[in-house]
A and B are shown apart, each in its own frame.
Chain A
């Protein structure tokens, strides 16, 4: 079960920092990051991929879920 982190409505670069903190704390765990703007999708995805994680983006009605795993 992936842990959920709600980064919706956060200014740049908070979604990335929240993701970074989560991955630093539990590098082997999977996370679902919730964001609501395209730029956060891009930034978090780029960060997670550069850190060696796999990212799947799922679009909900008004937001995005980024599934991040090793």
Chain B
């Protein structure tokens, strides 16, 4: 069976020639949750955006392929690519406030996509949305559908966005730090909801996060990213049992522990960073800056 998402040797550069993604390869199997973990600036969000075709115009993909259910995104015409991405993927964004249009009510915002892009009837779309709102445990759908985004709490907005992401039955969902902007108490519920809907719908998820605790809870496989390079890739259980790469070990050591929070808050070790820098430098050897 072909992978749901297959990224091969993806490299991207900024206009000044600096590499932001360094030959990234990763695959997400159908129905699998793949975590993409790394510190800020490591390029994890960039990978998500590249898959969804919304990279900032300054970032240019210079090599590599992205296959969505076996279809090479790079070989499609822009219009066909948009249609394919629109039909098979969805995004659960980081900030649930700006991800909803502030001047439109929730109901039309959610059904619009089903009606306009997928050609559903208004009634069918409405039923579907209500079903999904029920799945994300929104108990008063009538009020929510009539609300403007700012009238809902952060947790409610994120539920709405999760419902919207699953509504069109995408094959792949990119979840870009979906719990980061939420209260700690709400984070857990949202994470549980995403996991539950993922199981029920059998959707593959590329789960971008910097939180190893979240990784352990939700994913089956992990890619650890540093400076745009995948430094380690493993089954989640195996990674936590025996991290191979020094950086992964350092990351784990930097995660606060409940029993002794202060002692466990350690920055990543200097020697590890030096090793990483050498690794990045060797990866860039033989890499010629593309002109233009």
Q: Do A and B come from one complex?
A: no
- B interface with A by C-beta (< 8 Å): none
